[in-house]
Amino acid sequence: MSASEVPCPSCGFACRVESLQHLSGSQLGCADCVYRHKEAKRDRIVQAPGAAGCLVFLAGAATALLGVVGLNLKVLLWIDAWGADTGWLIRGALCASGIALLGVSVALGKVLPKPERPPGMAPPPIAD
């Protein structure tokens, strides 16, 4: 650690004083921490609709599978309140909405820019 370097308040690695930036609120971090913070925030935004979509699709698929044998999930009993045809329409809509939300997730992943990796930062480990 040279004279102009300090330990990063977030990760503890030596970094240049002038490279410290605000992460969130008053917390400071080095360029690498800011990059990781931005990357994690982007990942959360991209993955949230996909996770919700999986749940909605699974609920639709589960109630459809159970509906075939004349059963239903307790939380989805209301589905058949307007008749069997409407119930199947709602089951289909649940599956379709789940797939649509997954599509939103994929689209966000393509549209939202990835944060720029700071120069000198070690590349991520290569997955096998």
Name the residues that contact Zn ion, by CB under 5 A.
8, 10-11, 29-30, 33
Nearer to Zn ion by C-beta: 11 or 40? 11
Closest distance of CB 119 from Zn ion, Å: 15
Minimum distance of Zn ion from residue 3's CB (angstroms) = 19
- DSSP 8-state symbol, 120: T
Q: Which is nearer to Zn ion, 20 or 90 (CB)?
A: 20
User: Least Å distance between CB 37 and Zn ion?
Assistant: 9
* Cβ atoms 99, 53 nearer than 8 A: yes
Which residues touch 45 (CB under 8 Å, ≥6 apart)? Answer: 108, 112
| CA pair distance 112, 128, nearest whole angstrom | 26
Supply the angle between the helices 31-68 and 84-111 in degrees, to the nearest 10: 160
Residue 36 or 91 having the CB closest to Zn ion: 36
